[in-house]
Chains A and B, each alone.
Chain A
Amino acid sequence: MKTVENEIGAILAGTISAITQRSIFNRLGPLAAMPVSQLSNSDRTTVMTELESSVRLFARRNSAELIASCARALGAETAAAPAPAHGAPAAAPASSPNGAAAAGASPSKRLPIEQEKDIATARLEAWSEAVRIGLSKFTSVKVATAVSELARNIVFYAGRGSVELRAVRDDKGPALRIVAADQGPGIDPAKLAEIWAGTYKSQRGMGKGLVAVKKLVDEFQLDTAPGRGTTVTCMFRGER
């Protein structure tokens, strides 16, 4: 019984790295492990919408062909067969007006961070958001890296928290605001001074994450105190 992950993985192999595929499947949640034959029409639509945006973003070439192959593999064209009475062809939204039409108010995306696998999901989510709002390829990798650091700090030090992504646009062009917040132990001022001085080393050899993020971003704000949790707010702008 072939699952969505088996089928799609075989198609994307060689074009999209295994690591990125993993994050894409994580984003699909339980749908990834479902046998293709058991997908409902709405499941199929959900999977295809997700795949379309990811493939466009990460495939270096042939994204249209890949998307079409994915739709075929998921049985988009045979979907109407079991229940032909239902008039509405269950085809996946192969031509959904994605990307270009995604303008308008951009609501913020809040990603819960609770375990190690959430780090990869947050990173990918941030990356696609950066590309979507028009940040350069290089800046998008910086965004993904910064979110990776922030999410990792949450998992390692606070246990749980969230990363919020919000696209903002001002006279200087598109920008992405990232807020990483947790209710963890917070950082005391003495430790913080050591972190900025570069002399702090936690047992996990971390402590460099915050410094790295600060260097990567265009604006950085840290709000933390023992017992009050930690909130990092930062901003990435498009190239001037």
Chain B
Amino acid sequence: MKDQQIPIIQIRNCLLVSIQTELHDRLALDLQESLMERVRITDARGVILDVSAVEVIDSYITRILNDIGKSVRFMGAECYIVGIRPAVAMTLIEMGVELDSVNTALSLDLALEKLELLQS
């Protein structure tokens, strides 16, 4: 558990990250850094973050997601968040917290579809 890392999977020219663990400061920064590096190396057009295993998203996690979205955008790729649970979405709305630096899609399939459309 000491030096855990979140795996980044490449599907064609997209990078997929499934968040299955508690995102704390160090881990989030590491993820952001390695994502940037991978976008650069692989020339990825899109980054998809699957948060379907995340049961609670607070303003801190939102900021992390937005930061990742922003940096991915700076690199010229698009970032998609998929799998936000209904209760999480409603809570975010009530809190008045915006996920405005990322795109969202209902599922991984739909995100891939949207990204593919972007490229043609």
B60's nearest neighbour on chain A, judged by CB, is A152
A141-B88, A216-B95 are contacts. A19–B20 as well, Cβ < 8 Å? yes
Q: Which of B9-17, B35-43, B50-58, B72-80 contacts A (4 or more CB under 8 A)?
A: B50-58
A72 lies within 8 A of chain B by Cβ: no
Q: Does chain B have a CB within 8 A of A206? A: yes
Is the Cβ of B56 less than 8 Å from the Cβ of A205? no
Please state if A148 and B97 are interface contacts (CB–CB under 8 Å). Answer: no
Known A-B contacts A19-B54, A22-B21; A216 and B60 likewise in contact (beta carbons under 8 Å)? no
Question: Which residues of B from 86 to 105 have beta carbons under 8 Å from A?
Answer: 87-88, 90-91, 94-97
Residue B109 is within 8 A (CB to CB) of chain A in the complex: no
Q: Determine the chain A residues whose CB is within 8 A of the CB of B20 once the complex forms.
A: 17-19
Question: Chain B residues near A209 (CB, 8 Å)?
Answer: 58-60
CA distance A65 to B59 in the complex (A): 36
Q: Residue B90 contacts which of A127, A138, A208 (CB distance < 8 angstroms)?
A: A138
Q: How many residues of A contact B (CB 8 A)?
A: 28
Contact of B94 among A144, A206, A215 (CB under 8 A): A215
Q: What is the 8 Å Cβ interface bit string for chain A, positions 1-25, against chain B (1 contact, 0 not)? A: 0000000000000000111101100
Q: How large is the interface on B (under 10, 10 to 19, 20 to 34, 35 or more residues)?
A: 20 to 34
The answer to the question of B24 belonging to the interface, with a C-beta cut-off of 8 Å to chain A, is yes
Distance in Å from the Cβ of B119 to the closest Cβ of chain A?
32
> Whose C-beta in chain A lies nearest to the C-beta of B24?
A116
* Pick from A18, A149, A211: contact of B53, CB under 8 Å: A18
For A19, A127, A149, A152, the residue with the greatest tally of chain B CB atoms inside 10 Å of its CB is: A19
Q: How far is the CA of A216 from the CA of B25 in the complex (A)?
A: 24
Q: Is A212 an interface residue (CB 8 A)?
A: yes
Residue of B nearest to A149 (CB): B58
A56 / chain B contacts, CB cutoff of 8 Å: none
Interchain nearest-CB distance for B98 vs A (Å) = 10
In the bound complex, do residue B95 and residue A215 qualify as a contact, i.e. CB atoms below 8 Å apart? yes
In the assembled complex, the CB of B99 is this many whole angstroms from the nearest CB of chain A, namely 13
Question: Of B22, B94, B95, which one neighbours A19 at CB under 8 angstroms?
Answer: B22
- Whether the pair B96, A144 counts as a contact (CB closer than 8 A) is no
Q: Is A237 an interface residue (CB 8 A)?
A: no
Do A141 and B59 have beta carbons less than 8 Å apart? no
Chain A, residues 201-240, CB within 8 Å of chain B (1/0): the string is 0000110110110011000000000000000000000000
A54 at the interface (CB under 8 A from B): no
Closest to A26 in B: B22
A-B contact pairs, 14 of them (CB 8 A): A17-B54, A17-B55, A19-B55, A116-B22, A127-B56, A138-B87, A138-B90, A138-B91, A141-B88, A145-B57, A145-B91, A149-B59, A205-B63, A215-B94
New A-B contacts (5) at CB < 8 Å, excluding given A17-B55, A206-B59:
A22-B21, A127-B55, A141-B55, A142-B94, A208-B97
Residues of B that sit less than 8 Å from A by CB = 20-22, 24-25, 53-60, 63, 67, 85, 87-88, 90-91, 94-97
The 9 closest A-B CB pairs, nearest first, are A212-B95, A141-B87, A17-B53, A148-B58, A18-B20, A208-B59, A144-B56, A116-B24, A212-B59
